[in-house]
């Protein structure tokens, strides 16, 4: 599933093509993509609206809409496993696997392509309320080491499932959690409340450094599905230290990288760099 760097890349690349454009028509090829809305209701909500801004929140791409200069809700797109957004010249019939297409006033079409039908493109009246449950953005200035440590030390959950929890921290997924924990030398099963402040500082630094580096490389194409709006793969998969490296030597210490399941998610780590937590006394 695309994570923060991939979704941020799509947001940045799609924005110049659609910001300021007016939606003149809609096509819906798979009703469940709309998240429970009917086709007529969806058309009424978005047709004639101007796409004022395009922004990311966690793993969602938000198209803020305006009608007659006033806020008119937003489209919230979640790519899930196989979703892709792109803009192309409007044709008579959308291509196979296009679930939603929005005709624009410049003769082009914003298209949501999703082979496995897991993604969503929903209209929401209040996007901030719709996403209010999400945790802080890890690249915003307000997300400091102190903020992270304060949140960690009051939770007893294992680090890997906690960092994957979007209500705790927005945007991270399996890839970047594994990479950040390895960079911070923290075991995925360590309890959050056992971290000292220097541990939290290393984790904070690792999360921000890795996310920024991945955005610079336009994300990671670890399978055939993630592509930028231009159809190009990301490049950060060549920088992976542990993710998908099972059985290979750790680039830092040379020990064999292991894979096992933590919180129902495949997990990769070096058990020499990331020492397992001690069992409870007794």
245 a catalytic residue: no
3 a catalytic residue: yes
Place of tokens 């690349």: 13
Tell me how far apart the 2 most distant CA atoms of the chain are, in Å. 71
Q: Give the SS3 label for residue 182.
A: helix
Q: 59, 120, 160, 227: which one is catalytic?
A: 59
Q: 2, 127, 188, 229: which one is catalytic?
A: 2
φ, ψ for residue 195, nearest 5 deg: -75, 140
Closest CA to 263 of 180, 177, 137, 205: 177
Tokens of 200: 């939290």
Buried b (16+ CB within 10 A) or exposed e, 83-116: bbbbbeebeeebeebbbbbbbbeeebbbbbbbee
Q: Measure the CA–CA gap between 48 and 104, rounded to whole angstroms.
A: 9
SS3 sequence of 186-234: CCCCCEHHHCCHHHHHHHHHHHHHHHHHHHHCCCCCCCCCCCCCCCCCC
**Is there a contact between 106 and 25 (Cβ–Cβ < 8 Å)?**
no
265 a catalytic residue: yes
Q: Measure the CA–CA gap between 125 and 176, rounded to whole angstroms.
A: 31
Q: 108, 197, 259, 265: which one is catalytic?
A: 265
Q: Measure the CA–CA gap between 185 and 191, rounded to whole angstroms.
A: 14
Catalytically annotated residues: 2-3, 59, 265
């Amino acid at each position: 599933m695309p994570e923060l760097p991939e979704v941020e890349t799509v947001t940045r690349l799609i924005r110049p093509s659609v910001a300021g454009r007016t939606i003149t028509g809609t096509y819906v090829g798979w009703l469940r993509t709309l998240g429970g809305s009917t086709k007529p209701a969806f058309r009424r909500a978005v047709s004639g609206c101007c796409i004022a801004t395009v922004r990311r929140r966690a793993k969602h791409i938000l198209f803020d809409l305006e009608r007659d200069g006033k806020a008119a809700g937003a489209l919230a797109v979640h790519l899930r496993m196989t979703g892709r957004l792109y803009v192309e010249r409007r044709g008579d019939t959308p291509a196979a696997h296009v679930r939603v297409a929005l005709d624009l006033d410049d003769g082009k079409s914003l298209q949501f392509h999703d082979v496995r039908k897991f993604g969503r493109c929903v209209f929401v009246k209040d996007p901030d309320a719709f996403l209010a449950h999400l945790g802080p953005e890890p690249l915003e200035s307000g997300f400091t080491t102190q903020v992270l440590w304060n949140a960690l030390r009051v939770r007893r959950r294992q680090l890997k499932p906690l960092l994957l929890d979007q209500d705790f921290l927005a945007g991270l997924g399996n890839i970047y959690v594994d990479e950040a924990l390895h960079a911070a030398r923290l075991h995925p099963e360590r309890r959050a409340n056992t971290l000292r402040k220097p541990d939290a500082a290393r984790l904070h630094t690792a999360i921000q450094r890795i996310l920024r580096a991945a955005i610079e490389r336009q994300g990671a194409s670890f399978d055939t599905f993630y592509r930028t709006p231009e159809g190009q793969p990301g490049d950060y998969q060549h920088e992976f230290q542990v993710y998908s490296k099972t059985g290979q030597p750790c680039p830092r210490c040379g020990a064999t990288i292991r894979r096992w399941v933590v919180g129902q998610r495949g997990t990769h780590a070096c058990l020499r760099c990331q020492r397992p937590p001690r069992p409870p006394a007794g």
